[in-house]
Amino acid sequence: MKLFAKLALACAVSVSALSTGAASAAEKFIVGYANMADTDVFVMARKNAFIEAAKSDPAVEVNFSDANNDASKQLDQIDNFIAQKVNAIVVVPVDYQGIVPGVEKANAAGIPVIALGIQSAGGKYTFVGSKNIDAGRLQGEFMKANLPKDAKILYLEGTPGLSHTQERKKGFGDALGRTDVKTLASLSANYDRAEGMKVTEDWIQSFSKFDGIIAANDQMALGALEALKGANRVKGVLISGVDGVPDALTAIKAGEMSQTIFQDAAGQAKAAFEVVEGIKKGEQPPAERLVPFASITKENVNQFIKK
Amino acid sequence: MSIETATKSEKQGAKASLLSNVNFAQIYRKYGTVLIFIGICILASLLSPTFLTEANLTNVLRQVVVVSLLACGVTFIIILGHIDVSLGSVLALCGVIATSVMVMTGSVVLAVCAGTAVGVLTGLINGFVITFFRIPSFIMTLAMTTVARGAVLLYTGGSPITGLGDFKIIGQGSLGPVPISVLILVAFVILSWVLLNKTKFGRYVYAVGGNERASRASGINPDSIVVKAFILNGILCGVAGIVLMSRINSGQPAGGVGYEFDAITAVVVGGTSLMGGTGTITGTIIGAMIIGVINNILNLLNVSSYWQQIIKGLIIAIAVILDVWTKSARNKKKA
């Protein structure tokens, strides 16, 4: 496998040497891209976007590895990149804590590290991605502007014990900041559509009127929508989710859902590549390069459906 | 214990209880789950005025359909002294295949057939491997859990299937005031009850679960009973998957996680012993209703999800303690 990779590298180098003439093997800037799991739809989309972005600079070459959600496998792969003396490592950490030894080893070897999408609990690196607290904040801002006076709302939490569940909820609470709005209830539906539906059905029984359901992801929001449809209560309820899945976009276009928050895979990949380019030019990489979430509502939903 | 001696000893047990009048263990064996169910309902109606409304009760019924279907199937497995922990993933696989066929063909009938067929196939595989290779059912169905989940993720590429059209009638439609999904449940409960109580197959299930060697000696082929029970269980998984995906109007490859826990809890709370040999469909349904009512009232009262998990765990522990305790009380009596 390694031999094959080396051969492939040699071929690539010689081909590019032929084509550019001036570029030699020593001048190639090699990036090791340690992906979390090629099976994850979002993570894979971001990897493909990175490949696209990397095409803009023929002097940059990217080597990929896939940890398949195994934190220790990912550490081995980073060791390999360090042994290959790559010029920069882009890693999508499998685990926030588990990646630390890898980041520290790369630091010791003097190789700059970019953590993409997920941070590392330690070591020196550049974080490129979006902050979950901002997804909640965008939901809060939308509700602040659109909920009627003295509104009553319900919040569907994600799986308890995950950091992004807490962050999305906190971001929402921070940004809402309206004393007249009352939260009737807040329960977890484990990011699951069937559970979101079940909890909302129970809420429909408990509360004769509410004006908004805020969910920590789109699947729960869509489950809530099904429950409201079943009870004929869709009208007058603002529903907001996070992710921007196709179903949610369709529901927003139909006027059944009000908002979803889109995490920009392509934008994150592009930003990561820009940081790589900066390192190549010898610039000091920043500690953080944030890519904002996009709030999708009826006004701008069409431009996202096309994608 | 052969069938004849089983019924004889049960008759003796009944006589003994008549003679000694009030005995908590005996009463719990017979009516315990019903009493607990009524008690919980009374408590729930006191805690929340919403609970006893017609709309909420229909709501609870609709919510227990999926777990009740799974619980009916796994009752056979547990009476046989086996276990199936793959219910949730097999449900997801069946449901997603059904939705996918629905999208491809536009035919609800074909979709339902495909989903059920996948259930039959997984049940057949589980039953065959367990009996042919003599593998503990826990291990085999654990393997099936990851295989089925892997298969459904592979098939869908991880993203949900949407655009189901008429498919949602199964889980969302109603005939008059009665949801169609509840009618489906009633039909399968009756079917399961008849199979377990009125057929040779049902009597053999008890016999094999009570004492496999004795049943073999009296001419029953336990392996064929186990395989048939797993196929039946698979069919019910398939139906449950179809109802669930139809209810949420999309094929969710990540759906049904942990449903086996709820289903097995329902069966055990309903008085079926994990040791095999005893258990009833009516008990299982009451068990499922108890779980459904508890879930419902906890949500109505806005109890935090952290507490909900603790409470659910305690319920299964208490049910098993009662099961073991009443059984040892009965055995002592016999001795």
pLDDT tens digits, residue range B155-196? 987 778 888 888 989 988 888 889 999 999 999 999 999 999
Residue B148 lies in a domain: yes
Distance CA(A241)–CA(A217), nearest Å, equals 5
Does A201 contact B at CB distance below 8 Å? yes
Residue B48 in contact with partner chain A when CB distance is under 8 A: yes
- Class of A2-130+264-291 in CATH: alpha beta
What are the extents of the domains in chain A? 2-130+264-291, 132-262
Render pLDDT for B130-146 as a digit per residue (tens, 0 to 9). Answer: 999 999 999 999 999 99
Q: What is the pLDDT of residue B113?
A: 97
Interchain CB distance below 8 Å, A192 and B257 = yes
Q: Cα distance from B45 to chain A (closest Cα, Å)?
A: 12
| Rounded distance between C-alpha atoms, residue B42 and residue B50, angstroms | 12
Task: Please list every residue in chain A whose beta carbon sits closer than 8 Å to the beta carbon of residue B296.
Answer: 202
Tokens representing A286 are 């920043």
- State the count of interchain CB pairs (< 8 A) between A and B: 78
CATH class for the domain made up of A132-262: alpha beta
- Residue that wins the pLDDT comparison between B330 and A31: A31
pLDDT of residue B274: 87
What range defines the domain where residue B323 resides? 61-334
Q: Is residue A39 within 8 angstroms of chain B, CB to CB?
A: yes
pTM for the complete prediction? 0.77
Check whether B254 has a pLDDT greater than 60: yes
Q: Can you tell me the mean pLDDT for B251-274?
A: 90
Interface of A with B in 241-280 (CB under 8 A): 245-247, 250
Number of domains in chain B: 1
The pLDDT assigned to A222 comes to 95
Q: Please tell me which residue of chain A has the smallest CA distance to B254.
A: A192
For the record, the structure tokens of A32 come out as 């090791």
User: Which CA distances in Å does A80 have to A32, A125, A227?
Assistant: 9, 18, 50
Residue B17 lies in a domain: no
User: What residues of B are in contact with residue A201 (Cβ under 8 Å)?
Assistant: 59, 62-63
Question: What pLDDT does residue A5 have?
Answer: 54
Helical pair A218-230 and A193-206, crossing angle rounded to 10 deg = 50
> Best interface-test mutation with B: which of A162, A201, A217 has the largest number of B CBs within 10 A?
A201
The number of residues making up chain B comes to 335
Q: What count of Cα atoms within 13 Å lies in the side-chain half-sphere of residue B58?
A: 18
Residue from B146, B162, B249 to probe the interface with A (highest A Cβ count within 10 Å) = B249
pLDDT band at B22; cut points 50, 70, 90: low
Give me the amino acid identity at B79: I
| Domain pair A2-130+264-291 / A132-262, same fold | yes
- Tell me which chain B residues have a C-beta less than 8 angstroms from the C-beta of A160: 305-306
Report the CATH number at residue B211: 1.10.3470
pLDDT confidence band for B32 (50 / 70 / 90): confident
